[in-house]
Amino acid sequence: MLLRIDHVGIACHDLEEKIEFYESTFGLTVVSREINEEQGVREAMLHVADGAQGASYVQLMEPLHPDTVVGKFLAKRGEGVHHIGYGVADVAKALEEVGAKGVRLIDERPRHGSMGASIAFLHPKDVGGVLTELVQTARH
Ligand code: CMX
Ligand code: CO
């Protein structure tokens, strides 16, 4: 079901500062910047590598307001890894299969993610404390 690690989602207070850090420290390049009102984040995708099943990224996220998922995470835990996004071929099918195994789905249906992807989240309490995102990349 899981084709690759699509991205690691990292929560931060200052997006521009963290972009600058990842660029100057690791030589990564920003390939997309977006504001996702629905998810309450301002975010950037930085390209890490290309693999046979597609690319991998670092997703840096700054909350739009304190009263958002990432805003609350920062207040509670501080900056750091917030979620892991795995690439899947068909996110609706993957949700159905994972849901049938008893994992709580945060999203019953896919939502809009970065760069036109369809995404859905699984509850961290049912995935060993890891907030898990399934990502179906947009077709080009
Ligand atoms: N990773 C692991 N555990 C987490 C977590 C995270 N990112 N966020 C919350 N939790 C844990 C908390 O520690 C808490 O556990 P305890 O009860 O043991 O303390 C429990 O989950 C409930 O946490 P909460 O602070 O009360 O938070 P909520 O229940 O309000 O929200 C969650 C948690 C997972 C439902 C919410 O973060 C969510 O809906 N996430 C999906 C959407 C999202 O993350 N969007 C931003 C990214 C967008 C993108 O990638 O494009
Ligand atoms: Co993500």
| 125 C-alpha to ligand 1 centroid (Å) | 9
Mutate to test the pocket of ligand 1, among 121, 130, 136 (most ligand atoms within 8 A of CB): 121
Q: Which domains does the chain have, with CATH numbers?
A: 4-136 (3.10.180.10)
Q: Can you tell me the mean pLDDT for 38-64?
A: 96
Residue having the nearest C-alpha atom to atom 18 of ligand 1: 125
Whether the pTM exceeds 0.85: the reply is yes
Residues with CB under 5 A from ligand 2 (ion): 9, 59, 85, 133
| Structure confidence at residue 140 (pLDDT) | 64
Q: Is the pLDDT of residue 60 over 80?
A: yes
Residue having the nearest C-alpha atom to atom 44 of ligand 1: 69
Percent of the chain scoring above 70 in pLDDT: 99
Residue tagged 């947009």 (tokens): 138
Region at 124 (left for phi over 0; alpha for psi -120 to 50; beta for the rest): alpha
Percent of the chain scoring above 90 in pLDDT: 98
| Structure confidence at residue 92 (pLDDT) | 97
| Structure confidence at residue 139 (pLDDT) | 77
- Determine the atom of ligand 1 nearest the C-alpha atom of 70: 46
Catalytic residue among 39, 82, 83, 136: 83
Report the alpha-carbon distance of residue 3 to residue 88 in Å, rounded: 6
Residue 70 contacts residue 61 (beta carbons within 8 Å)? yes
Q: State the SS3 of 41-62.
A: EEEEEEEEEEECCEEEEEEEEE
Q: Is the pLDDT of residue 32 over 70?
A: yes
Token pair listed for 36 = 């996702």
Residue 18 contacts residue 89 (beta carbons within 8 Å)? no
| Structure confidence at residue 126 (pLDDT) | 98
Task: Say which DSSP state 77 is in.
Answer: H
